[in-house]
Structure 1
Amino acid sequence: MNIKKLLIIFSLLVGPVVTQPAFSADLECTIYVKSGGFEFGNGTNFCGGFDFSFGSSTSGNWEITNITKSIDYVNWIEGCSSGLSCSVTVRAYASNPAEVYIHYTDGSIEYLTGSMTYETGY
């Protein structure tokens, strides 16, 4: 087989894979701490905060953003129960994870994960 035929076969096999749009959705968290506290990582998939309220929890939300393909359905494992966003209670000193599978209409599936942390007082 000559080089020209090899290049044609290679481009037919690899070309469709390379030209497919890459996954691009993002899982973003936002945490809201009490007055006088500080937050970090809002707008990313890992965020957290600290305040001196001595409470056991604060509020936050999860949101799937930057979606460029048509979605068939969303399957939340942890974090939300349905939809593309939700409000959550963020427990202090506990694991507050999120996991979601996005099923696109083209048959592809994307997995996103994230976590929120919260600390309060001493």
Structure 2
Amino acid sequence: IIGGNVGKNITGGYFQNACPIRMSYVLNATGFPIARNSPYAKVSGADNKFYIYRVNDMIDYLTHTMGKPDLIVNNPKQSDFIGKKGIIVVKGHGWSNARGHVTLWNGSICSDQCHLLNDPDNGPFVPEVGTLWILP
């Protein structure tokens, strides 16, 4: 859907972790565009917008743009975030291609996998810290 250099890198197998790209798409579409001259690892899409492709860079972007997270939890589980809506980042270890996951949280579930404690989709990933930027 994004195409451009994003599509080329995904098709070529260079980008295996697409969560920061998906979040960039959301941010670009909702008034928080990724600037061409920003210091984050990014590539352009066919729409001439920019897409961050590293979780750590997305965390830095969110902190720079939205301030410190509203909630920080060690050993994060789903119940820690119930009733709050926003952007959730789960940092941990065990994956060879990413140090965490970023996604939208609607107050009870993630828009895709959450990768919180006891998530059956975690595989070798062990979540250590969950952060949430609360959105209206």
Q: TM-score, normalized by length of structure 2?
A: 0.27
Which of the pair is proportionally richer in strand? 1
Q: TM-score, normalized by length of structure 1?
A: 0.29
User: Looking at CA atoms only, which structure, 1 or 2, has the larger radius of gyration?
Assistant: 1
Which of the pair is proportionally richer in helix? 2
